[in-house]
Structure 1
Amino acid sequence: MKIVKISLLILSFNALAFEEVNMDNFIKQQIEHAKQMLNQEFASAGSPTIKLAEKVIWPNKALGCPRDDVNYNQVLTDGIRIVLSVDGKDYIYHGDSKGKLFLCDPSKVSTIYRTGWQSAEY
C-alpha cells in the first residue's frame, strides 16, 4: 500500500513540473508574439521591455477586456496577461491558454483572478 501512495505522489509531482515547464514555454512564446504585434502596430516604438508576464484566470470569455457591444460566456477562463513598456508607456496584452492574444485598451481592463504565478524574468 505504501508503494502505491509513493508512486502516486511522484506521478503528481511530475505532472505539476511538466505543466510548469509547458506554461513557461507558452509564456515565452506569447511574449515574443506580443513584441512582434507591438512592433507591427507601432512601427516607431522603441525596444520593448517586459514589465510583467503572468498566468491569470479571467472571469469570462472577454479575457479581461470586454467590448461594450458583446455578450460573453460567464465561465472562468485560463489565460495570460503581458505588459510591455516602451519609453515609459505600457502596452497591455491579454490572452487565453490556446494562443489568442490581443492588445487591450487600458480603459477596458476588467477583473483578473490571479493564480499566484508570475514572472518578469523573460
Structure 2
Amino acid sequence: MKEAIENVYPKAMHITCTVHMIRNAAKYVSHSMKSDFLRDLKNIYGADNWESAKHNFEYLKNKWGGSNKRAVEVVERAMDNIEKLFSFSKALRTLVYTSNIVENYNSVIGSFLAAKKSFNNIN
C-alpha cells in the first residue's frame, strides 16, 4: 500500500495507523497486565517530543521486554512510524495517528452495502 501511495503522491508522508499498532502489540500481553502496558505505550506516542518518546520506549523495552517480548517487538518495528508523528504539532498528532475517520466512512459504506443483499433481476 505504501508503494502505491508513493507512486501516485510522491511527496506524501505515509504513516500507518497507530491504533492498529497498539492493538497488535496488546494482543501479546495478558489481560491482567494490559492496562499497565497500554499506559506505558501511550507515553511513547503521546510524548511531548521525539526525545521523550525514545526515552519512554527504552523504559517500555526494559520493563516489558522480558515478559512480553513479542509486544515490545511490535512497538519497536513501529518506532520509525511513530517518529514521523513528531513532525506535527501535538494537537495535529492526535488527528493524524489514527485512521478512524476513514474507517468510520468505510463502515458506513459497508453497512449500506450489506443492506442490499441482492440486486433486482433486470429480466
Q: What is the TM-score of this pair, normalised by structure 1?
A: 0.27
Q: Which has the higher strand share?
A: 1
Q: What is the TM-score of this pair, normalised by structure 2?
A: 0.27
Q: Which has the higher helix share?
A: 2
Based on CA coordinates, which of the two structures has the bigger radius of gyration?
Answer: 2
